[in-house]
Amino acid sequence: MALNFVLPASPSTLAPAPSVATHHASTASAGPAGAAPTGGLAATCATVAAVAGLAQRQRNRNKVARKFSLNLPNMPGFPFEKSKKTVVITGASSGLGLQAAKSLAQQGWQVIMACRDFQKAEKAAKEVGMDPENYQVIHCDLASKQSVRNFVQTFRTMYNSLDALVCNAAVYFPNTHKEGVILPGLFPGGGPRWSAEGHEMSFAANYLGHFLLCKLLLEDLKKSSFSAPRCVILGTVTATVNGAGLGGMIPPLAHVGNFEGLEKGMKAPVTMLDGGAFDGAKAYKDSKVCDVMLMKELHKRYHKETGIVFTSLYPGCIAETNLFREHYPLFQNLFPAFHKTVTKAYVSQEEAGQRLAACVADERYGTSGSYYSWEGEAGTGGGGGREAVQNTEKDLDWFMNYGSFRTLSIDEIGGEAADDQRCSKLWELSEKLVA
């Protein structure tokens, strides 16, 4: 980036200079009547000074306007020009979000890492080798509506528009409803956790914060100078949108009901969207159903008008991730091995991150309303296999399950997320909560 400047000529060029002869004559003039002429050393010094002054004035006459450039570095949000695409990724300090951020930064995107823990995000970005010129960390706690608003305000002071938004961050508290394992008091769950505004934490961080973020950043996505800006919202196979898909049949089953709990405001003692008894694992699954519903409703309300592409995806089973940090240690150790050998659904964090990055940057993933899912070598969404854009046919997987792990068009999305009226109701109730 270059800034050009012009320096004018010296103002002294406008004034004519007296001649040396005139000045010399004045120094050699006679003094008072009867006195001797004032010559000698004084006259010589005056003459030298006059000659020097004349030379300086002559140099000033020869000055002309000069041009020069100041080269400035390409700084994030610098308002003079935009040279690369900008993406906001929530939960980018670890796991899937971090690997997607790394992949997009390597492709030349400006990555905004929206994270609750600023220092953790900075350290993680450095550890995976991200170029400091291609990322920036901005604080955002999705479980706080005020924090989300502050993030958007900060973003707008630094960037004029947005090209992609990735709603990735999630929390998972699978045991919070349990009194203990084997014996009461052994690894107790501790009960529901609450957000800054008093909502159950899984609902607040996984869904409601993203709902508010999407609503606020829609205006920034509309300003994108690139064709087809994107909004990508993470789904999960455990909250099936694929009919009677295998992953969604693992209890506890996701069930949002008719949003009885949401109608009551989702504040203590209400913890579940359907108004039922608290279950930490089910709360996570319910929130992910809402995320897919959010994607569908955004597509219905805004895609045709704005051209923004709204999609969701299941990136595969990332069994080694901080998402399971609240689970029992034995589960954390056995879970990856189980999915590598039994379900064949295991995918590495790096490959999953590349899948998410493709939904952001690959032009083939630009069909709004799609729910993308990779086949995997065993047909269960794990590593390798057909890419999501090709994985649209109903095939038999490792468990002889027919068509569970495949890409869906918006009209093929099943389960509770298939109900358009419920999707619309979720939107309207969510607007009341963030008003």
CB distance 311 to 367 below 8 Å: yes
Please report, as a single letter, which amino acid is at residue 46: A
Please confirm, yes or no, whether 207 is among the known catalytic residues. Answer: no
16 preceded by a cis bond (ω within 30 of 0): no
The pair of structure tokens assigned to 175 is 């045991």
For residue 68, give the H/E element and its range.
Answer: strand 66-71
Instruction: Give me the phi and psi of 70, to 5 degrees please.
Output: -115, 115
The pair of structure tokens assigned to 33 is 């009547």
Cα pseudo-dihedral 146, 170, 255, 411, rounded to 10: 100
CB distance 165 to 87 below 8 Å: yes
Catalytic choice (159, 284, 346, 371) = 284
Residue 77's CB is within 10 A of a number of other CB atoms, namely: 15
Give 29-34 contacts, CB < 8 A, sequence gap 24+: none
| Buried-exposed string 154-175: b where 16+ CB fall within 10 A, e elsewhere | ebbeebebbbbbbbbbbbbbbb
CA dist 36 and 52 (Å) reads: 28
CA dist 39 and 42 (Å) reads: 7
Collect all residues with Cβ–Cβ distance below 8 Å to 311 and sequence separation of at least 6. 230, 231, 232, 233, 295, 359, 365, 367, 368, 369, 370, 371, 372
Instruction: Indicate which residues carry an active-site annotation.
Output: 284
